[in-house]
Amino acid sequence: MLDTIHLYGNHWLGAGWLTVWTLIKIVAVVLPLLLSVAYLTLWERKAIGWTQIRPGPNRVGPMGLLQPIADAVKLIFKEIIVPTAANKGLFFLGPVMTIMPALAAWAVVPFGPEVALANINAGLLFVMAITSMEVYGVIIAGWASNSKYAFLGALRLRRRWSATKSQWALRSWWCSWWQAA
């Protein structure tokens, strides 16, 4: 079936088929990931509501199942407030630099035998390297706001992430070394 798709794609799009095929694979990975996060958030809100003896999110759709979609629409159309003294370019670049490495790390996650968006030999090294880039987005966002309190908060978060990432890297290295031995 994939051979037929590649044949028709090359026939209709020519050299641009590789770009289109890569974008299709990226959407096929990212869309279910974002939907699962949205519905896990809904489940968490319902569980918190149950523990606090209140109904939780149940107003939008049957049993509140459309609540994540309503939250996404609200988030898209929400007014973006930028501090007056902020560096606007960096202020918007910070969150992008934080979310993109988290999504890019899924490129090497295997979804089956020989099925991954990017099949590289150093997948664990790629995941550790790309997820360590997230901290720069937080630092840039804190610095771009031109507030010493936001910048200090960003530095505190960087310190916390550095401590947990180094432990995670050592544990991953130990597990891969132990398996190879």
122 φ, ψ to 5°?
Answer: -100, 55
Q: Of 124, 137, 130, 65, give the one whose Cα is nearest residue 104.
A: 130
pLDDT digits (tens, 9 = 90+) for 122-180: 777 888 888 878 888 888 888 888 888 888 888 888 777 777 777 777 777 777 666 66
The pLDDT value recorded for residue 180 is 65
pLDDT digits (tens, 9 = 90+) for 91-108: 888 888 888 888 888 888
pLDDT digits (tens, 9 = 90+) for 34-83: 889 888 988 888 888 888 877 777 777 787 788 888 888 888 888 777 77
Mean pLDDT computed over 5-12: 76
| Dihedral sign (CA 107, 109, 114, 120) | positive
The pLDDT value recorded for residue 4 is 80
Domains of the chain, residue spans: 1-78, 81-181
pLDDT-derived band at 2 (thresholds 50, 70, 90) equals low
Helices in the chain by DSSP H: which ranges? 2-13, 17-51, 67-76, 88-104, 123-131, 134-144, 148-180
Cβ–Cβ under 8 Å, residues 128 and 176: no
Length of the chain measured in residues:
181
Residues 6 or more apart whose Cβ sits within 8 Å of residue 99:
137
Pairwise pLDDT comparison (123 vs 31), residue with the higher score: 31
Cβ–Cβ under 8 Å, residues 151 and 135: no
Burial class (CB in 10 A: 0-12, 13-18, 19+), 47: exposed
| Dihedral sign (CA 29, 60, 47, 75) | positive
* HSE-up (13 A, CA, CB side) for residue 140: 17
Q: Looking at the predicted structure, is the pLDDT value of residue 32 above 80? A: yes
CA distance 160 to 95: 18
Mean pLDDT computed over 12-41: 85
pLDDT-derived band at 1 (thresholds 50, 70, 90) equals low
The pLDDT value recorded for residue 133 is 82
